[in-house]
Amino acid sequence: MDSTAAAAAAAQAPVLLVTNDDGIDAPGLRFLVDQLVAARRYRVLVCAPDTDKSGVSHCITWRPALRCKRVDISGATAFGVSGTPADCASLGISGKLFDGVVPDLVLSGINIGNNCGYHVIYSGTVAGAREAFLYGIPAIAMSYDWVAGQSSVNDLKVSAEVCMPLINTIVTEIKNGTYPKGSFLNVDVPTDAAHHKGYKITKQGTYMARISWEQTVYKKPAVESYQTANMDVDGEKDSELVTPSENDLLFKRVLVGRSSDGVEGEDMDHMSLANGYITVTPLGALSRTEPDAIPYFKACVSRLVGNFASLGRSFSRSRVA
């Protein structure tokens, strides 16, 4: 293939934008980009936080300008950005950073630690995909269920590999115009990624890491590694203890357990993940309440209105008197 033909083929290739919340140097992102580049069928763009932004949810930067710095990633055009995952997704799909190019699909991950159940609320990884979805760009968030003392960096590489068939299928659906626009996907790869049981469509459950607080002394900030980046990853990086200021009360979050409200069915995300499946959970942007709560709140507001009316009549009579 001559250079002209190669350039034409590159121009027609689907454009994939990669972001994450662990930072542009995180191995999960780098392994994912490696797989996409190796496929030789995509134009790969990267717009990711220049530092770890785990657990920032859908936080955005409003007033300050974002600093964007080119990063050398073989086979991709990449920028490290001084913003959140949602910032990076927004900037990456805007056409402003990549000379007018808008991606066909946004991929966020691969995250260290699962993002099942209520964790999607806290997750910067999920927020990166959600931000793209809000602006009409198909998106997939991807996470690996890291377990301290059991998982290794190689599991992140395997996770990228096992996600590729799904990514390829979604790109084909987008190209054919058959991909639905009402949701984005949240994918979690089980701890034993190499021996997963296959893909499984699941529903978001209520699983979450339960957090409490304990009083502590000031800890000199340590450089957090990707292995301790997620709130649901066991272990804590050692750092220097320092005597707090006299008037300070310092508290830190501590993990006290993991739970689900009620018994989750086999079609729920975390139970399926624990059973060894790669869970694929369609998500929307809206947080809806349970249907049976609507009648209760209608009745509650009706009583409230009635009480206000009674108070108003009482107030009027007292004014007249």
118-142 per-position pLDDT tens digit: 999 999 999 999 999 999 999 999 9
The mean-pLDDT minimum among 100-109, 129-138, 279-288, 311-320 falls in: 311-320
Terminus-to-terminus CA distance in the chain, angstroms? Answer: 96
- The Cα–Cα gap between 321 and 316 comes to 9
Residue type, 202: T
Residue 241 scores a pLDDT above 80: no
Percent of the chain with pLDDT over 90: 67
Check whether residue 155 and residue 126 sit in a common domain: yes
pTM confidence score: 0.85
* Beta pairing, strands 278-283 & 199-201: parallel
Check whether residue 177 and residue 226 sit in a common domain: no
* pLDDT tier at 230, thresholds 50, 70, 90: low
Alpha helices in the chain (DSSP H): 3-12, 27-38, 85-93, 119-122, 124-134, 153-176, 269-274, 293-320
- The Cα–Cα gap between 133 and 288 comes to 17
pLDDT value for 229: 42
Check whether residue 33 and residue 89 sit in a common domain: yes
- The Cα–Cα gap between 79 and 59 comes to 19
Residue type, 65: A
- The Cα–Cα gap between 77 and 142 comes to 21
Peptide bond before 278: cis, by omega within 30 degrees of 0?
no
Check whether residue 316 and residue 195 sit in a common domain: no
Q: Compute the average pLDDT of residues 113-117.
A: 95
167-225 per-position pLDDT tens digit: 999 999 999 999 999 999 999 999 999 999 999 999 999 998 888 999 987 666 554 44
Check whether residue 216 and residue 73 sit in a common domain: no
* pLDDT tier at 292, thresholds 50, 70, 90: confident
pLDDT value for 40: 97
pLDDT value for 223: 47
Residues for the chain: how many in total?
A: 321
Check whether residue 79 and residue 113 sit in a common domain: yes
Check whether residue 255 and residue 176 sit in a common domain: no
Structure tokens at 282: 């369609």
Residue 235 scores a pLDDT above 60: no
Check whether residue 18 and residue 135 sit in a common domain: yes
Domain assignment of residue 218, given as a range: 210-259
pLDDT value for 84: 98
Residue 227 scores a pLDDT above 70: no
Residue 73 scores a pLDDT above 50: yes
78-90 per-position pLDDT tens digit: 999 999 999 999 9
Check whether residue 242 and residue 219 sit in a common domain: yes
Residue 266 scores a pLDDT above 70: yes
Check whether residue 107 and residue 178 sit in a common domain: yes
Structure tokens at 14: 């689907």
294-315 per-position pLDDT tens digit: 888 888 888 887 776 665 565 5
Mean residue pLDDT across the chain: 87
Check whether residue 194 and residue 152 sit in a common domain: yes
pLDDT value for 302: 86
pLDDT value for 220: 61
Check whether residue 102 and residue 127 sit in a common domain: yes
